[in-house]
Homo-oligomer: A and B are copies of this chain.
């Protein structure tokens, strides 16, 4: 059975030594997150993932969810108990304000825990994950009464949340949605329509399910300007806050999917279900976007999570499996063959995954820290800078980390040969589960279009200019540093490629927007590579210092420096081919008439 160990030590290193987490003690909740508390939270969260969630991953995949004739859905054996323990531990509300029953700790910590949970059991982690997304949307856009009604119950885990956007004929293009909301005259609305692909839409983990649903109020404008957001509980809530009668929403069927079998993906039927407007009428997409940005970061973290757990299991296998001899002579002459980790092609694969994971984790935590600043800083300028960063990096974290996370799961599976292809080793599950993260919360092509079409040109390109400037300043500041030469040199080359691509779009995409579309995915990955390369440069700086300063850390820090050099030598240079493709433009891409396909 696959195993998992939460990278607690690595998160602590990133927070303490690389990202300067504790410099932010002036932010609300950060003072409570003293080094001791942070370490305790991460250790406990790690233990939870390792001991409670991970053991149910393979069995949950095999068993899957079952829908019964009455529309109820049963989750796999053990999920309910694990979910209850997760809730009871207060994990759902880790970074939710204390007034709603949360602990008010930084979102950054919650993000680290999300990685652990996603690695250990993605299908199970999605139930609390979606609840956290719904909580985030209600916190920002819900009325005081809605907050009072729903949030405490959701934070304690008694009720879960969902997000209902997609319909059979519309996913990306929500302007096409058909679900109707008709005013009941008492302030509530009657919702009618069909939503598909609703994760955690129906299940047996909680006593109520709080659906956030987008729909069109009768008579509202067509397109995206007529979309409103509603809260639609599975069971109506009595005046005293208790669960009342069943609402007109039900699960019509569950999907048979490639992966995340333990999560129920439902077709949800709304038959005049009672719902209440969240935020303003016809401004539903804006409200939903709050939830979607949090969700997109969380999905990026899922990509990293699958990459990490697949890596760990590939390492274990590579140390154990005996096959062939090292090209440089037997390394285990007492055995029938050497463990396959001696082979350079195996080692290359492992290094590649590892070099991605460590930098991706840094990027995720850095971005989560910006989210905390956006929500908690008193300084408008600091908030704006953090918001710029979030806008720019959200599509990168979502798109790049899930694309590469999937690739890495595939590469880790490959280490196992035929054993990777059969289900009992669990590697197939990591691949199948990782696959969804490239699709949901906006398929990765949409992330790329969002980056290049919205985030990049926003405010005259301010966010990108700031990022380019920050990286350039880091390189200049460390120009004389011998240890960092192996990092700043390649980073400068990659940065030049990113600047070149950005410039090319400025000159060529205004008049011919397909030039942006044809290069969007390459640009997203190009920015991702530079961001990861920059993370490595910062990790290397911290590792070099810590290696000198601390006894006992030397080997671990040296390993980081080696892994970072691997990234710089072999992975970062991919920026060049990305730039070449971008500069090829859209002409050939768009040249064929549709009939030629």
Contact = CB atoms under 8 A, between A and B. Distances in A.
A172 B324 contact: yes
Interface string A328-372: 100000001101011111111111001000000000000000000
A445 B255 contact: no
B431 A435 contact: yes
Interface stretch (A38-46, A66-74, A543-551, A555-563): A555-563
Interface string A400-415: 0000001000100110
A423 to B, nearest CB: 5
B586 A514 contact: no
A255 B574 CA distance: 38
Nearest to A566: B588
Given A176-B337, A574-B577, A513 B327 contact: yes
A322 B171 CA distance: 10
B566 A345 contact: no
A230 interface: no
Given A518-B345, A591-B562, A421 B445 contact: no
A516 interface: yes
Nearest to A222: B336
Contacts of A290: none
- Of the candidates A166, A566, A597, the one having the most CB atoms from chain B within 10 angstroms of its own CB is A597
A327 B517 contact: yes
Given A173-B323, A569-B588, A424 B258 contact: no
A565 interface: yes
Copies in the complex: 2
Nearest to A520: B345
Contacts of A517: 327, 343-345, 348
Interface in A157-195: 166, 169-173, 176
Given A588-B565, A588-B566, A173 B573 contact: no
A439 B594 CA distance: 36
A584 interface: yes
Nearest to A509: B327
Contact of A344 (B169, B170, B518, B573): B518
A239 interface: no
Contacts of A319: 594, 597
A414 B172 CA distance: 13
A581 interface: yes
A196 interface: yes
A418 interface: yes
A298 interface: no
Given A418-B440, A520-B345, A562 B173 contact: no
A573 B580 contact: yes
A436 interface: yes
A432 interface: yes
A405 to B, nearest CB: 13
A139 interface: no
Given A418-B166, A421-B257, A344 B432 contact: no
Nearest to A347: B589
A418 B439 contact: yes
Contacts of A324: 172-173
Interface in A183-231: 196-197
Given A256-B422, A566-B588, A555 B431 contact: no
Contacts of A468: none
Contact of A439 (B169, B420, B432, B589): B420
Nearest to A573: B580
A590 interface: yes
A348 B518 CA distance: 6
A257 B423 contact: yes
Contacts of A171: 323, 417-418
Given A344-B514, A414-B439, A438-B414, A569 B592 contact: no
A444 interface: yes
Given A428-B258, A576-B577, A589 B341 contact: no
Most chain B beta carbons < 10 A, residue from A344, A423, A521: A344
Given A166-B418, A173-B324, A343-B517, 4 more contacts: A319-B597, A327-B513, A417-B439, A566-B589
18 contacts: A176-B336, A257-B428, A318-B597, A327-B516, A328-B513, A339-B594, A344-B589, A345-B445, A345-B517, A346-B445, A414-B439, A414-B444, A417-B443, A420-B439, A421-B435, A555-B596, A570-B584, A576-B580
Interface of A: 166, 169-173, 176, 196-197, 255-259, 265, 315, 318-319, 322-324, 327-328, 336-337, 339, 341-351, 354, 406, 410, 413-414, 417-418, 420-424, 428, 431-432, 435-436, 438-440, 443-445, 448-449, 512-518, 520-521, 555, 559, 562-563, 565-566, 569-570, 573-574, 576-577, 580-581, 584, 586, 588-592, 594, 596-597
